[in-house]
Amino acid sequence: MKVKVYDFEGKEKGEYDFKGVFEKDINKALMAQYVRVYRANQRQGTSKIKDKSEVAGGGRKPHSQKGTGRARAGSTRSPLWVGGGVVHGPTPRDHSLKFMKKMRISTLRSVFVDKANDKNVNIFEYPSEANFSTKKAKKFLDIVAKDKKVLVIHDNKESLYESYRNVPYVNVSLVSEFCAYDILSCESLFIENDAVSLFEKRLTK
């Protein structure tokens, strides 16, 4: 699986071959399952209603059992009354689902290959000097990404993070922290040159 390599002027310098990763390594069904599990695990599950026993008040019988012409009622907090409890409403629950480690790695490979097949994965060389600005970072992306939603993966370079974090359509992540959903949700993936080896290990381990 070959991807393009750019210098930080936006000039193409060649290609990099991700060994052990192939075009056929795409499992669409697993990717769909991963998205469902990921989104389920983001749910807090803290929605809560009060039933009849939890609503304040309602201790006194509102009117006589007979003789009023009205329906029998034992409490003003019945679900039939305004201000009463709610029947079968949401209560706190755990929505989380499990996804095995081997499945996560396989999904990561599938997502990466799918993105690379669409020519949306690139490697870029980051200048060694620490004095770097958001202006230069945006100029580079204007050349190679053209206002796409971008994920930049780096190897713990503070100046790189600080230069990209203020660009509105860019998400910056450490190579040890990103997940398959981060790649799925971006339009273009850029991997900093020093982070490539660790990125490759995450795809093939």
Q: What is the pLDDT of residue 162?
A: 86
For residues 99 and 165, membership in a common domain is answered with: yes
Residue 187 belongs to domain with CATH number:
3.40.1370.10
Two structure tokens written together for 78: 């019945």
Cβ pair 66, 95 in contact under 8 A: no
- pLDDT at 17 exceeding the cut of 80: yes
Domain count, the chain: 2
Q: Which residues lie below 8 Å from residue 158, measured CB to CB, with a gap of 6+?
A: none
Determine phi and psi for 140, rounding to 5 degrees.
Answer: -60, -45
For residues 160 and 198, membership in a common domain is answered with: yes
Q: What is the pLDDT of residue 130?
A: 56
Residue 152's DSSP bridge partners are 172, 190
Cα separation, 38 vs 99, whole angstroms? 9
For residues 139 and 102, membership in a common domain is answered with: yes
- pLDDT at 128 exceeding the cut of 70: no
For residues 153 and 70, membership in a common domain is answered with: no
For residues 55 and 26, membership in a common domain is answered with: no
For residues 112 and 13, membership in a common domain is answered with: yes
> At CB < 8 A and 24+ separation, what contacts does 192-198 make?
192/123, 192/124, 192/126, 192/152, 192/153, 192/154, 192/155, 192/157, 192/160, 193/5, 193/123, 193/124, 193/125, 193/126, 194/126, 194/154, 194/155, 194/157, 195/153, 195/154, 195/155, 196/16, 196/123, 198/155
Q: Which residues lie below 8 Å from residue 17, measured CB to CB, with a gap of 6+?
A: 1, 2
What pTM, to 2 d.p., does this model score?
0.79
pLDDT tens digit string along 33-51? 999 999 999 999 999 999 9
Q: Which of 129, 132, 182, 173 is nearest to 154 (CA)?
A: 173
> Which residue range is the domain that position 171 belongs to?
2-44+95-204
pLDDT tens digit string along 146-188? 878 999 999 888 888 888 888 888 999 999 999 999 999 999 9
For residue 147, the SS3 value is coil
- pLDDT at 129 exceeding the cut of 70: no
For residues 109 and 77, membership in a common domain is answered with: no
- Which of 89, 117, 151 corresponds to the end of one domain? 89
